[in-house]
Amino acid sequence: MFHDRARIVVRSGRGGDGALSFRREKYVPRGGPDGGDGGRGGDVTLVADPALRDLSSLRGRRLFAAARGGNGGGSRKHGADGAPVELAVPVGTQVTGDDGGLVSDLARVGARVVVARGGGGGRGNARFATPTRQTPRFAETGMPGEEHALELRLKLVADAALAGLPNAGKSSLLRRISNATPKVADYPFTTLQPVLGTVESPDGAQLTVADVPGLIEGASDGVGLGHAFLAHLERARLLVHVIDGSDGDADTRFATIDRELALYGAGLDERPQIVVLNKADLTPDPAPFSVDDARILAVHRVSCATGVGIQELKRALFALCPAAPEVGDEEAELPEFLDYRPAPPARRSFRILRTDRGFRVVGAVPSDDELEEALRGAGIRRGVLVEIGDEELEWE
Ligand SMILES: Nc1nc2c(ncn2[C@@H]2O[C@H](COP(=O)(O)OP(=O)(O)OP(=O)(O)O)[C@@H](O)[C@H]2O)c(=O)[nH]1
Ligand SMILES: [Mg+2]
């Protein structure tokens, strides 16, 4: 099975706590503060890996959690950073967050995005020593990690994509022009999952072409295989509309597919097209194709069975496929090729310090709920003292 969707939960590590510690040496009655800092919590990062075909490797598991940072220790010992988690996803994976908004689009090989940022480590009390405060009796606790529910959706990245009715000969064409060997058979819906092929020109240029399942009238209402797989056409800059041209019905077939492209949306009905009238071997004298449309850059009559017209079509593909946007040309790339938007680091308007009596809260606390969550995260227990401003409370 080809899985182009997955739902996962990612959780970054909490930062380790800073240590509250004083130097103890023989014959030194009152050593200075020497509590080290806590380590950073681990991040969860997605990386676009060209070796992956689809999202099936993420489907067995739901939660991906990075490790928490280690606590600081005495003698200014720093806690270890929490081990990060790196998840490989196929190139073309789009990530949507809890609120349904696009978080990131890993459209290029090696693109990375941090989807859950590890919490910062707390500072140990050694860092709070000043000439006027030589024995700071507090240390910061670590910052919390983040947890997000994400939906991953693969949209294949191809230069061109084949579209057409079942049995038109799309897979036969991909076999003819590329290194891919999708299944071909004389019944509709032979192709059940998208296949990518690489087409090479004599001078060494390459184009990737996607073959997707056939579309039929009503696909937008779920007829046939539906049209969800048209997501794999969204990034293609050129559509190759394959039509069985062996009888006089090519114009009607063109219109049927065109309607489905428009109903799907995402601008598919505005893409430039090459129309391929296939199965030329079956009719020596075919009816003309008479659709006149500015999107149609060229019409080619071919036979995937005999190879007639295939070389000319390949040349046209290289000549007519619109150039890829330049890497770094943000205006051309965004929003379609957006591939990195870092999640903002967790920020808080207050901090929680560990003291030798319990906890102390400093800064502006937005709500009781938030404070409670933060104190729980810092490991508070029943009966422990919490100082907030001049107030002293006992945790229940
Ligand atoms: N005579 C002839 N038959 C062809 C030609 N191209 C494809 N076919 C046949 O048409 C049938 C369908 O071909 P496919 O390539 O599987 O068609 P498809 O468009 O990929 O079909 P789906 O995957 O079902 O959407 C097969 O039996 C092919 O052998 C051609 O140029 N001439
Ligand atoms: Mg096919």
299 DSSP β-pair partners:
275
Q: Is the CB of 214 under 6 A from ligand 1?
A: yes
Burial bucket for residue 325 (CB in 10 Å: 0-12, 13-18, 19+): middle
- pLDDT given at position 203: 85
> What sign results for the dihedral spanned by CA atoms 264, 267, 270, 273?
negative
- pLDDT given at position 346: 56
- pLDDT given at position 99: 80
DSSP 262: H
Over residues 189-207, the pLDDT tens digits come to: 888 888 889 999 888 888 9
Ligand 1: nearest atom to the Cα of 303: 31
Kind plus residue range of the DSSP H or E element containing 206: strand 206-211
Summarize the confidence of residues 342-371 as an average pLDDT.
Answer: 81
Ligand 1: nearest atom to the Cα of 302: 31
| Token pair belonging to 9 | 């939960």
Q: Is the CB of 305 under 6 A from ligand 1?
A: yes
CA-based R_g, the chain, Å: 30
Ligand 1: nearest atom to the Cα of 211: 20
State the DSSP string of 289-328.
P----TTEEEEEE--TTT-TTHHHHHHHHHHHSPPPPPTT
Q: Give me ligand 2 centre to Cα 216, in Å.
A: 13
Over residues 143-179, the pLDDT tens digits come to: 999 999 999 999 888 899 999 998 999 999 999 999 8
Closest CA to 88 of 207, 173, 6: 6
Q: Is the CB of 168 under 6 A from ligand 1?
A: yes
Q: How far apart are CA 211 and CA 161, in angstroms?
A: 6
Contacts of 27 (CB under 8 A, 6+ apart): none
Q: Give me ligand 2 centre to Cα 257, in Å.
A: 15
Identity (one letter) of the amino acid at 95?
A: V
The answer to whether the peptide bond before residue 335 is cis (omega within 30 degrees of 0) is: yes
- pLDDT given at position 329: 53
Q: Is the CB of 303 under 6 A from ligand 1?
A: yes
Taking CA atoms, 115 is separated from 7, 10, 85, in Å, by: 13, 7, 10
Over residues 205-256, the pLDDT tens digits come to: 889 999 988 888 777 777 778 788 888 888 889 999 999 988 878 899 999 9
Contacts of 290 (CB under 8 A, 6+ apart): 251
